[in-house]
Amino acid sequence: MSVLVVVNETRLVLIQGDITQQATDAIVNAANSGLMGGGGVDGAIHRAGGPIIMEECRRIIEKIGRLPAGKAVITSGGRLKAKYVIHTVGPVWHGGRSGEAETLVSAYRESLKLAAANGLKSISFPAISTGAYSYPLERAARVALATAMDFARGDDSLQEIRFVLYDSYSYQVYADILKELTPKPEG
Ligand code: AR6
């Protein structure tokens, strides 16, 4: 099952599945500031992609110290089908009054900018911050989809922005919100 909406020149696609299996140019990792791996999507990406990704992360951290929430960096994809992994750090949910939404917007935006700057044509996102970091799914879905639409309106370099939802409930939440954010055809 999948849902598709076209914004400017970019397809926004929702699918239920495993992000490590996506053959888009890049997949996005919901990492932490240390970039040294973890559970959830982060653990799955490093397991599937092999040690090269961690080695590149280590070099980045040697240079920049830590990756602040809302920022993004790029490494190769190792053994993954995706050629690149874009690592970003979402906010930890503290109730919504600590700038969580702004940080989540920034995590999506910086990842999209980095993909475009590297000449990539397609990118897959997980539902950043909605697992270990406890961001409420519906609010996170709204931020993810609105930020992607906004980016696509101003930059037509990406052909596809794919959202890969792990379970059917998250998929349904995303599908409902995408419908809500999509202008109805006239008539
Ligand atoms: N494919 C797609 N989505 C997945 C997959 C997968 N293989 N596995 C889990 N999800 P999380 P966060 C969904 O916890 O909340 C890590 O330890 C999952 O159902 O991976 O940003 C990092 O190192 C959930 O909806 O990321 C950080 O310390 C979503 O992915 C911290 O967790 C995100 O869950 C980051 O927490």
pLDDT bin (cut points 50, 70, 90) of residue 185 is: confident
Instruction: Classify residue 186: in a domain, yes or no.
Output: no
44 within ligand 1 shell (Cβ under 6 A) = yes
Instruction: Classify residue 173: in a domain, yes or no.
Output: yes
Q: Write out pLDDT tens, residues 45-91.
A: 999 999 999 999 999 999 999 999 999 999 999 999 999 999 999 99
Q: Please check the confidence at residue 151 and state whether its pLDDT lies above 90.
A: yes
Residue range(s) defining the domain that contains residue 48: 2-181
Cβ(173)–Cβ(25) below 8 Å: no
pTM exceeds 0.95: yes
Averaged confidence pLDDT in the chain: 97
- Contacts of 107-112 with C-beta under 8 Å, sequence gap 24+, read 107/69, 107/70, 107/71, 107/72, 108/143, 108/144, 108/147, 108/148, 108/151, 109/147, 109/151, 110/70, 110/71, 110/72, 111/28, 111/72, 111/86, 112/147, 112/148, 112/151, 112/155, 112/158, 112/161
Q: Write out pLDDT tens, residues 109-127.
A: 999 999 999 999 999 999 9
Going from the Cα of 163 to the center of ligand 1, the distance in angstroms, rounded, reads: 13
Closest residue by Cα to atom 28, ligand 1, is 32
Instruction: Classify residue 187: in a domain, yes or no.
Output: no
Q: Which residue has tokens 């993909």?
A: 115
Closest residue by Cα to atom 8, ligand 1, is 41
CATH for 87: 3.40.220.10
**Domain total for the chain?**
1
124 within ligand 1 shell (Cβ under 6 A) = no
Q: Please check the confidence at residue 1 and state whether its pLDDT lies above 80.
A: no
pLDDT number for residue 186: 74
Instruction: Classify residue 167: in a domain, yes or no.
Output: yes
Q: Please check the confidence at residue 96 and state whether its pLDDT lies above 80.
A: yes
Give catalytic residue positions. 42
Pocket residue to mutate for ligand 1, from 15, 22, 33, 41, most atoms within 8 A of Cβ: 41
Q: Please check the confidence at residue 187 and state whether its pLDDT lies above 70.
A: no
